[in-house]
Amino acid sequence: MNPVTYALGIAAASLTLVVVAEMLRRRKLRERHAVWWVLAGIVALAIAVFPGLLTAASNLLGVEVPSNLVFFASIAVLFLVCIQHSAELTSVESRMRNVAEHAALLELRVHELEQRSSSGDAS
């Protein structure tokens, strides 16, 4: 393999890991969302450093073109992460709706109490 390509692979994988680590450190990403990206970054780095790993894994699984294994694994991970995000979005939406409904009821209650106390003052 061309040394530039080799370096490029390592740089890209390291960059991913550094970005994820930094976002975790700044609390911009919660651990439970970062798991997939950390795992993917580590696997990518391992393969970038030791390309033999990919060939070995491909042979083991009977995948003729090793890069196809990379595509397959990447798509599978992205797919699962997307589903996880959709599920979380759904639950966040439903919680937001609960909060909004609750806020509407509380506002109504505040209004009622205000009216009651102002009419009480008047009498």
Binding-site ranges for other proteins (CB under 8 A): 97-98, 100-105, 107-109, 111-112
Element (H, E) at 50: none
In whole angstroms, the minimum distance from the beta carbon of 94 to other proteins comes to 8
Helix, strand, coil percentages in the chain from 3-state DSSP, rounded to 5 = 90, 0, 10
In whole angstroms, the minimum distance from the beta carbon of 69 to other proteins comes to 36
Closest to other proteins by CB, 56 or 100: 100
In whole angstroms, the minimum distance from the beta carbon of 117 to other proteins comes to 16
Q: How many of the other CB atoms lie within 10 Å of CB of 44?
A: 20
Burial of 57 by CB count in 10 Å (0-12 exposed, 13-18 middle, 19+ buried)?
A: middle
Closest to other proteins by CB, 67 or 90: 90
Closest to other proteins by CB, 88 or 107: 107
